[in-house]
Chains A and B, each alone.
Chain A
Amino acid sequence: MKRITVKAERCAGCRQCEMVCSFHHTKKFSPETSRVTVIKDDRLGLDYPLMCRQCSECLPLKACPTQAINREGGSITVDWQACIGCGACVEECRHEAMKLHDGKALICDLCGGEPECVARCPTGALSYAEAPEFSETPWDAFNRMKEEWGIHG
């Protein structure tokens, strides 16, 4: 299955993905409408972009009380007509990939198969290809890099 994967070692935390994503979807710039969100730890100098990973078992999809969340053509979709903005999906997603904006749920739609964040990432931290499911959290990644690089505190 094709999915966006993250090389945390490469993420420079510039958040250009957030700008590109919001612009692609709304023609405006706002982290609030971006479907990717970069987690940053300025003390450690580590960064991690959070977004949908196309989990085989999508907990938000299961949790949605109005069946507004579906899987279509390789990506998770939200039917905004059906979405009531309850936030159950945001609670359930293990990867913090869902958010609410103006009372509607947002999630990565892979830009219809050519994700702009991947194309525009300045360091190649993101790629979109056939890849196995991965469960690494930002905190797992941060611990791995801390260990590898001797960065603590």
Chain B
Amino acid sequence: MARIHGYTGKALRVDLTDQAYETERITEAEMRGYLGGRGFNAKRLYDEVGAGVDPLGPGNKLIFGTGPLVGTMFPTASRFNVSAKSPHTGILGDSNAGGHFAPEMKFAGYDQMILEGRSPSPVYVYVKDDRVEFRDASAIKGRTVFEADGFIKSELGDRRVQTVICGPAAEKGVRYGGLFANQVRAASRTGMGTVMASKNVKALAVRGTGHVEVAEPEEFERMVLELEQEIRGHEQYPGRMLMGTTRILMMANDAGFLPTRNYTSGVYEDAGMVSGERLAEEYNVKNRGCFACTIPCSRVYSVREGPHKGLHGEGPEYEALGSFTSRIGNNDLELALKAIDLCNQLGLDILTVAGCVGWAMELYEAGELTVKDTGGLELTWGNGKALLTLIRRIADREGFGDVLADGSVEAAERLGRGMERTIQVKGMDLIMADPRGLKGFGLGYAVASRGGDHLRSEPFLELSDDPEIGERMFGIPESTLRLADRGKGRLVSYFEDWNAVIDSLEPCKNIMQNMMLLPFERAAEALEVATGLRVTPEEMREAGARIVTLERMYGVREGVSRVDDSLPPRFRESPLGEGASGGTVVDLDLMLDEYYAERGWDAATGHPTPGTLQRLGLGFAVKDLP
């Protein structure tokens, strides 16, 4: 058999308990079946972390995976997935980030790295090519992400070491502590930092001196040059270079689905004061990019005067910016930047912080929460000072911060009130787009394998509001109308399969999916020229469906069924009052019926059928059906 390129073909297994390590082969069947990153991780987690494992116990495993295109000049191929059972939701935990960590894994010789067990003392794990060191981390225990990164690079005396770090919030047991590469590239959803901290590990540091080879260098280069040209010529290029994803804030506001005051409105009257446009004009000083990026859309900002003078950093992206502005009714842009910076240093997932704070503010404004509950904090809409204090208290698990440190569902349970106002699915606090203005997104949140989240599907084509696209691509004109409910099952399953492919090959979804640059056909071609593995576009899509379905089975094994594929009551019952998305609610049942039919899942239970599992090569999971 010809050698397979692109992949390293190796996984590194690190036993923290005994401070030992070994490498394992990744087989061709695994490559064809699960592609890389997210797919590899889903399979590993399914096989090795079963029902009943405590997410914060030594039986959980923290798995880093990257893809076959990474560590080359393939535009934007820079990303890794990190997966474990989630301490935030109890189901599949999985998060994805860019920066420079993933290519370093490849240069060190690994497609996947598995941390298992629990270290007897605080360590950071240092992987230099085929050698692993368990290094004393007592000096950086409880230190911020930025401080820990500086310490590790200086202790190792190597500025080219790449790190993934958990912050002090994770070490205190906040259930939504994230992991951070290059200090601010956050893989922060589902509590992967909290899992790392539970293993007595502060960071994973990697340095590789090897290389990545591709199967067909000339063809690979041709494809790369073509993609670079298409990216630079794309209509979205100027906006993304100027604003990154923060360009979405005004778009969402104009379309009336910008989550405002904990989703009580889709229009924020002060959006212009906190927009990506304003950030670009008044604060941004330069662009930064992830590894091998043709469209480096991250931005460095600097606050040069006022109460936050001296504040600087990279980003923010739309989700973070919206989280600390419209979502909590705050029109002070600099304060939002300060709050984002604080969360990055403390290692918190911003969407969940904002979900909890927005929820608490709504309760406070409704008189269901008082200063007696909050430890004296007046949680009125937009109270920035209270926000900063509360972020610190969450990270310290102190007072009311402790109540919020497990997510909004746990907080509502502890207080015995406000559950109907939590904005979450399967325990994960939602992102920044109101599904009453984006029905397909709503379906995507309801069925996402990691709980309420858009990145599993992100069916942005419904934003086109162009029925011709829907007719052409899905045979249903309404599928690409954002306020329509019909056709969304087909739209979302298509996009879920596509995103599973992108998350496994590991280029950037913003570019390769949102800009329509890597459809199944081209993804198959990319895999072939990079690795030598020949797959058809149909097989590529089927690999996506296999990954999605196996992740679903991970949830099913933990008890997930149709009743959990839900949305907060306000999205199903109360229309938005104002703006371009007013007057409608989400008909979730109709969309779910369509979706299960598309997937070959049972409509009553939401479980994949045995036949579907067999068809996708997941026969081994049939035994786990209830």
Contacts and interface: CB of A to CB of B under 8 A. Distances in A.
B212 A123 contact: no
Most buried by A among B232, B298, B300, B310: B300
Contact of A13 (B285, B288, B309): B288
B15 interface: no
B302 A14 contact: no
A39 B159 CA distance: 8
B73 interface: yes
Contacts of B72: 19, 23, 29
Interface string A22-59: 11001111111100000110111111000000000000
B127 interface: no
A15 B291 contact: yes
B71 A29 contact: yes
A134 B73 CA distance: 29
Interface string B191-229: 000000000000000000111111001000100000010
Contacts of A42: 149, 182-184, 314
Contacts of A151: 285, 300, 302, 312
Contact of B312 (A19, A30, A122, A150): A150
Contacts of B107: 30-32
A39 B304 CA distance: 25
Interface string A45-84: 1110000000000000000000000000000000000000
A28 B211 contact: yes
B346 interface: no
B312 A45 contact: yes
Given A32-B211, A39-B159, 13 more contacts: A14-B290, A14-B292, A14-B296, A31-B107, A32-B210, A43-B150, A45-B286, A45-B300, A45-B314, A145-B286, A150-B302, A150-B303, A152-B310
A12 interface: yes
B293 A16 contact: yes
Contacts of B232: 122
A19 B73 contact: yes
B293 A22 contact: no
A12 B314 CA distance: 11
Contacts of A123: 287, 289, 296
A120 interface: yes
A149 B100 contact: no
B367 to A, nearest CB: 43
Contact of A29 (B73, B160, B286, B293): B73
Interface string B269-293: 0000000000000000111111111
Q: How large is the interface on A (under 10, 10 to 19, 20 to 34, 35 or more residues)?
A: 35 or more
B186 interface: no
Interface residues of B, number: 45
A94 interface: no
A9 interface: yes
A108 interface: no
B295 A122 contact: yes
A19 B310 CA distance: 35
Contacts of B418: none
A19 B309 CA distance: 38
B474 interface: no
B318 interface: no
A2 interface: no
**Residue from B210, B214, B288, B313 with most neighbouring chain A CB atoms (10 Å):** B288
Nearest to B291: A15
A44 B182 CA distance: 11
Contacts of B314: 42, 45
Contacts of A19: 72-73, 292
A42 B314 CA distance: 9
Interface string B153-177: 0000001100000000000000000
Given A22-B211, A28-B212, A149-B285, A122 B296 contact: yes
Nearest to B147: A43
B530 to A, nearest CB: 11
Contacts of B380: none
A43 B292 CA distance: 20
Given A19-B72, A45-B313, A122-B293, A30 B287 contact: no
A26 B212 CA distance: 11
A123 B309 CA distance: 28
B151 interface: no
Given A15-B291, A43-B146, A31 B160 contact: yes
Interface string A92-120: 00000000000000000000000000001
Contacts of B182: 42
A39 B160 CA distance: 8
B292 A30 contact: no
Contact of A40 (B159, B213, B312): B159
Contacts of B17: none
B212 A30 contact: yes
B217 A150 contact: no
Contacts of A153: 310
B294 interface: yes
Contacts of B291: 14-15
A20 interface: yes
A45 B298 CA distance: 10
Interface in B65-107: 71-73, 100, 107
B167 to A, nearest CB: 15
Nearest to A26: B211
B302 A10 contact: no
